[in-house]
């Protein structure tokens, strides 16, 4: 059961990083479409984190997820890339990279953990929602390239 707790806690921590990352990018973008997307995704990640926290407490697994040092470093890296004159597309790539990481965490928890149906359903929903966000980020990047080629994300 300890492994399940660790897997679930890892997902919650990564959700906190994702929500903070989206909120951070949303606060600093000048493009309304990206702002709206980031705010929406941050709200979805916050909602998912709260749902997972409820599952944790219901099982007696205490948790205080506030994100990770890696997530904080990733946000700093995004700021650094922007400050050094890298394009808006670099920010999209970093959002894509972070969401791919979150989806991998959720999929790993699903494949390695033995969770009850409600927690498994939430993990599947999270994986699906993150997959949709990854697809939307790729589409956004592709539209910005205007050359019709598949974007090199990740």
**How big is the chain, counted in residues?**
154
> Which range, of 1-5, 27-31, 98-102, 114-118, averages the lowest pLDDT?
1-5
pLDDT tens digits, one per residue of 12-24: 888 888 888 888 8
How much is the pTM?
Answer: 0.78
Q: How do residues 38-51 score in pLDDT, each as one tens digit?
A: 999 999 999 998 88
Beta-strand ranges (E) seen in 25-142 are: none
Of 103, 88, 53, 95, residue with least CA distance to 71: 95
Is residue 89 over pLDDT 80? Answer: no
Greatest mean pLDDT among 33-37, 63-67, 149-153: 33-37
Q: Which CATH architecture has domain 2-145?
A: Up-down Bundle (1.20)
- Quote the percentage of the chain above a pLDDT of 90: 27
């Amino acid at each position: 059961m300890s492994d399940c707790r660790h897997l679930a806690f890892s997902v919650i921590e990564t959700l906190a990083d994702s929500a903070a990352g989206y909120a951070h990018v949303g606060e600093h973008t000048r493009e309304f479409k990206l702002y709206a997307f980031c705010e929406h995704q941050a709200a979805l990640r916050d909602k998912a984190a709260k749902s997972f926290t409820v599952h944790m407490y219901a099982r007696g697994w205490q948790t205080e997820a506030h994100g990770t040092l890696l997530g904080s470093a990733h946000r700093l890296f995004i700021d650094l890339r922007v400050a050094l004159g890298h394009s808006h597309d670099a920010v999209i790539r970093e959002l894509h990279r972070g969401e791919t990481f979150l989806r991998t965490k959720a999929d790993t928890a699903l494949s390695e953990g033995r969770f009850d149906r409600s927690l498994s359903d939430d993990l599947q929903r999270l994986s699906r929602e993150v997959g949709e966000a990854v697809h939307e980020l790729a589409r956004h990047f592709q539209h910005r390239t205007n050359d019709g080629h598949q974007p090199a994300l990740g």
